[in-house]
Structure 1
Amino acid sequence: MQYPTVIVNGVSVRVDEEGRYNLNDLHAAAVLKGEATEAQRPSKFMRSSQIGRFAESLTKAQKRASVKIIKGGIESGIWGLELIAIRYAAWLNPAFEIRVYETFREAVLNGISSMTMLNRLDLLITNEKQEVSECARKMNRWGVGGRKNMLETTRQNLIDQMDPDMVAIMQGAA
């Protein structure tokens, strides 16, 4: 599944393949606008027993790790599911929490809008494929040895049965 990337205060918050957002990126975004201090790091947030219980409950409910801690490397930091990220934003600053919540909600709504457009397009493609296939079947039935041949043969049989003078009059009128 593709999780939406969010940008808060001009900082792109990374998301991993499990839908966990980098809390260190959120911290940097909050510090950038003076909505958090350097001391309010994600590691301090995670030391709270209340947050630990919340993360444990979320892990059980979601059936996947709600928090992932990576030490060292380019992916280092504390990664948390969206609800953990919003809880962290609330812990930093109420105004920042609102901005983060609205950013996540907008990302989801944009994703839903894109999904709706994609579903409509898929339906349109399916319907048009069916119409084209039906036209192709009709053309096949019409073609060589098909309905066209049968109609032309029937026409010729009728002409052959008619009075030759009547045929000449019909051909002259046409």
Structure 2
Amino acid sequence: MKELAVFDTPVRIDDEKFISITDIWKAAKAAGRNVDNLRPTDFLRSPVTRSFINELIKGGESTPFRIIKGRNGGTYVTRFLAYEYAGYIDPAFKVGVYTVLDKFFSGEMITLASYMAEANMADHILKEESAVVSDCARTMNYWGIGGRKRQLVNNRQEAYARLQINVPGLE
């Protein structure tokens, strides 16, 4: 089961790509539309919808809808019936639903999600490597001129100087 956001409300799509128009109804309600008399069951009983369902069946769709009872149930329909239901609610709402569902079914939404994941991964790698480079820069700065390197060179020169045997008269 997948979920899409329609007007910031989750809409479930099952593994057979049936869309929950119960969730679309909830999205319309959340978007401020008066949909109390536009429930999915009323839509399916409508004579216009019945004619449309008959045409879908003639076109090869054996079962364009299913009703699942229970707490997490709902009315699930095929893509074309979901578009019809969104138009049944409101033409402007239909445009929004059509846009989201079309991007999902065309694969564009999946592509956008993969681009987002790629961008997030690049951002993560950049932050991680920046931290490593910053640590290296601090170490190099500590090592550099006037730092640890100079101290070690001075210690070495002092040790060599102590090792030198001075023969009087030879310099």
Structure 2 residue aligned with 1:80: 77
CA distance in 2, matches of 1:100, 1:41: 16
Q: Would you say 1:32 and 2:30 are equivalent positions? A: yes
- The one-character-per-residue Cα deviations of 1:100-142 (angstroms, maximum 9, x if unpaired) are 011112223444874xx9xxxxxxxxxxxxxxxxxxxxxxxxx
- Residue 63 of structure 1 aligns with an amino acid whose one-letter code is E
* C-alpha separation in 2, matches of 1:64 and 1:6: 25
In the alignment, which residue of structure 1 is the partner of 2:119?
none
Distance in 1, Cα, partners of 2:61 & 2:94: 25
The residue correspondences of 1:46-65 to structure 2 (distance < 5 A) are 46-65=44-63
Q: Name which of structure 1's ranges 58-67 and 34-43 shifts more when overlaid on structure 2.
A: 58-67
Q: Provide the C-alpha distance between the structure 2 equivalents of 1:68 and 1:48, rounded to a whole number of angstroms.
A: 16
**Does residue 96 of structure 2 align to residue 99 of structure 1?**
yes
For these two proteins, the number of residue pairs brought into alignment is 112
Matched, 1:6 2:4: yes
Structure-1 residue corresponding to 2:21: 23
Aligned equivalents of 2:2, 2:71: Cα separation in 1: 23
Deviation at 1:15, TM superposition (A): 1.2
Closer, same or farther: CA 59–19 of 1 in aligned 2, 3 Å: farther
Distance 1:41 1:106, change over 3 A: same
Runs of 5+ consecutive residues of structure 2 not aligned to the other structure: 115-171
Q: TM-score, normalised by structure 1?
A: 0.57
- Greater shift in the superposed pair: 97-106 or 31-40: 31-40
Structure 1 pair 16–98 and aligned structure 2 pair: CA distance change class (3 A): same
Report SS of the residue matched to 2:59: helix
Identity %, equivalent residues: 27
Q: Distance in 2 between matches of 1:26 and 1:72?
A: 18
Q: What secondary structure, in the 3-state scheme, does the structure 2 residue paired with 1:106 have? A: helix
Q: CA deviation at 1:59?
A: 3.0
- Measure the CA separation in 2 of the matches of 1:60 and 1:16: 23
Unaligned runs of 5+ in 1: 118-174
Mapped contact 2:87–2:94 kept (Cα < 8 A): yes
TM-score, length basis structure 2: 0.58
Quick check: 2:4–2:10 contact (8 Å CA) kept in 1? yes
| 2:42 equivalent in structure 1 | 44
Counterpart secondary structure, 2:13 = coil
Contact 1:56 1:66 in 2 (8 A): no
CA RMSD, 1 decimal: 2.3
